[in-house]
Every structure is written in structure tokens, then in C-alpha cells.
Amino acid sequence: MEVHHPHHPTHKKKWSEYIIEFVMLFTAVTLGFFAENIREHLAENEKKQELMKIVSLDLQRDLKQLEFHQNDYAVKFKTCDSLINILDVNPKDINANTYYNLLCIHLGYWNFNPNDKSRSDADSKGYFRNAENAELAYYISKYNFFLMDYKTIEDEATRNRFKLQEEMPYMTEEKYYDKVALVDFDKIPKSAGIKPIDKEAAKRVKYIALNWKHLYHGFQFDIDSLGFYANKAIKLIDKEYK
């Protein structure tokens, strides 16, 4: 026996219903798109804020390191004249310990190692190249300018140091120069009398010492400039990105 199922008439949608469904779907997609953009924008702002705080901390670390270098250069600058003058003294009257200490001051060195990764990261993201951060970008660009100049002077100082090292065979005794390299001055006599200094070598070392004085003036100027622009940048970052 055949079973007959009743036919239910299908509802024919009106155009208005299609339009409403389309509008609802479009609205949902659009709102989702905007919500995702807002979420990404907030996440990007949070990342930017954290990175800028690191930039501030790295600048502070740079300034702390530069403070050490400034003190070291101040000592070196003051002893340039002492080194020049002692070369005119009769070798028999020169205190050996003092002499080798003076040489060590100008042979020893520490290079400045800036904490620049955070600044490079921020620059690669364009944080220092838009109108929103124009003032900060200016401070960072000036800081980088004087940092580059500082490194140029540092390279020249290295060359000057090599020149001084080349004169050591003509101005020192091997047994004492070895103690300079080890910073073991207790084994260098504190009595008067050193090996006669080669006159031509002494003349060259005087010019090297004079070059040091010019370099130390340059270091001081750059350190002051770096400190000025770093502090400006730090203050602005701490204000804008609390």
C-alpha cells in the first residue's frame, strides 16, 4: 500500500529578507574586521610602549657607562703633561714605578659598547620616522650623530695607542713592561732609575701624548652632547610611555 506524505509548501523569501540577511552578514563581517584591527592596534601600541621603555633604559645604561669613560679620560688627560715632562728628566732620577704607571694609563683602554639594539628595533619599525614622534626622533638622531663621532675618535685613539706600543722597546725594560701588561706594579721598584730612553722615541711619544690631549677634548665634547640628547629622549619617553 502506498503511503502518501503531505506536501508542505516551501516559504518563498521576499527580496527584503535577502537584503536583511545580507546586511546582517555584512555587518557581522565588518564588525569582526574592525574588532580585529582594534585588537591588533592595541597589541601594537602595547609592544611599542614596552620597546620605548627599553630604549629609555638602554640610554640610561649608556650614560652610566659613559660616566665611567669620562672619568677614565679625565685621568688620561691630566697625565698627558706628566708623561711629556718625565721624558725630559734624567733617567737616573725617574721613579721607575711612577714611570711605568704613566705608560700603563695611556696603554690601557676600555671601548664604549652602546646598548643600541632597542633603538635599532624601534627605528626599523618606523617609530623614529613619523610625525607623532618627531621630537623624539630628533633627539635620537642627534644622539646617533654624536655616537658616530665618538666611535670615530675612539678608532683614532686606538691607532694612537698602537703607535705608543711600538715605542715601548725603545723606552722600557722587558722585565718591567711585562708587569705593566699584567698590571702588577708591586713588582716594579719605587726607587729612582730607569733604562735610558731613546731620544727619538721620546720625541715621538711626546707628539703621541699631545695627540691624546686633542682626542680627550673630543671625547669630552661628545660625551657631554650624548648626555644632553640622551636625557632629553629619556625624559620624553618616560612622559609619553608611562
**Long-range contacts, 85-94 (Cβ 8 Å, 24+):** 87/197, 87/202, 87/205, 87/206, 91/193, 91/194, 91/195, 91/196, 91/197, 92/192, 92/193, 93/192, 93/193, 94/192, 94/193, 94/194
Model pLDDT, residue 5: 52
| Amino acid letter for position 172 | T
Q: Do the Cβ atoms of 155 and 218 come closer than 8 Å?
A: no
Model pLDDT, residue 92: 94
Distance CA 215, CA 228 (A): 20
Q: Do the Cβ atoms of 230 and 63 come closer than 8 Å?
A: yes
Model pLDDT, residue 42: 45
Model pLDDT, residue 185: 82
Model pLDDT, residue 240: 85
Please count the other Cβ atoms lying within 10 Å of the Cβ belonging to residue 156: 14
Per residue of the chain (242 residues), give pLDDT as tens: 455 555 555 556 566 666 766 677 667 666 665 555 655 554 566 788 899 999 999 999 999 999 999 999 999 999 999 999 999 999 999 999 999 999 998 888 889 999 999 999 988 888 887 777 789 999 999 999 999 999 999 999 999 999 999 999 999 998 888 888 777 888 888 999 999 999 999 999 999 999 999 999 999 999 999 999 999 999 999 988 87
Model pLDDT, residue 198: 93
Model pLDDT, residue 183: 76
| For the chain, the helix, strand and coil percentages under 3-state DSSP, each to the nearest 5 | 80, 0, 20
What pTM was computed for the model?
0.78
Distance CA 233, CA 222 (A): 16
